[in-house]
């Protein structure tokens, strides 16, 4: 089955840029979607189709996808961005929705 690999944690200071990666075999050929999950809340979509933002998501959130790595980029990180972030793809070979293991973003 298709596997997505994320770093367990990323820590940054407020105001700087955070990069959260999502690795998968030839992931650049797939559409990658990203979710933010704050403690005690359901996840929300922050990036879809690799780099598109749903309405209401700040421009500080962007995404890219190429080769074997997709990346969620958060510029000018704020305390309110502290959350778990998950990448997700649809694996057409198995008809499965696949999530990465999640990355905890800590704002120092």
Partner 1 sequence: QLQLQESGPGLVKPSETLSLTCTVSGASINSNTYYWGFIRQPPGKGLEWIGSIYYSGTTYYTSSLKSRVSISRDASRNLFSLRLRSVTAADTAIYYCVSVARDAAGPCWVGPWGQGALVTVSS
Round to whole Å and give the CA distance between 77 and 64.
18
Output the CA–CA distances (angstroms, integers) from residue 7 to 17, 22, 92, in the order listed: 16, 8, 24
Give the β-pairing of 96-99 and 83-91.
antiparallel
**Residue 13 C-beta: closest distance to partner 1, Å:** 26
Min separation Cβ 104 and partner 1, Å = 10
Question: What is d(CA 49, CA 55) in angstroms, rounded to the nearest whole number?
Answer: 14
In the structure encoding, which two tokens stand for residue 16, read together?
């700087």
Give the length of the chain: 108
Radius of gyration of the chain from its Cα atoms, rounded to whole angstroms? 13
Report the residue from 25, 38, 76, 96 that binds partner 1 according to the rule CB under 8 A: 96
User: Least distance in Å: CB of 37 to partner 1?
Assistant: 8
Q: Which of 23, 48, 51, 57 binds partner 1 (CB under 8 A)?
A: 48
Work out how close the CB of 77 gets to partner 1 at its nearest, in angstroms, rounded to a whole number.
Answer: 22
Q: Which stretch binds partner 1 (CB under 8 A): 10-18, 29-37, 58-66, 68-76?
A: 29-37
Binding site for partner 1 (CB under 8 A): 1, 31, 33, 35, 42-45, 48-49, 54, 86, 88, 90, 92, 94-102
């Amino acid at each position: 089955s298709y596997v997505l690999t994320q770093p367990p944690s990323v820590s940054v200071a407020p105001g700087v840029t955070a990069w959260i990666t999502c690795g998968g075999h030839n992931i650049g050929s797939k559409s990658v979607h990203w979710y933010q999950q704050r403690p005690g809340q359901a996840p929300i979509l922050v990036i879809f189709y690799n780099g598109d933002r749903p309405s209401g998501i700040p421009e500080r959130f962007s995404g890219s996808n190429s080769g074997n790595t997709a990346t969620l980029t958060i510029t000018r990180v704020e305390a309110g961005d502290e959350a778990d972030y998950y990448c997700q793809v649809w694996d057409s070979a198995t008809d499965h929705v696949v999530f990465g293991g999640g990355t905890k973003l800590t704002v120092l």
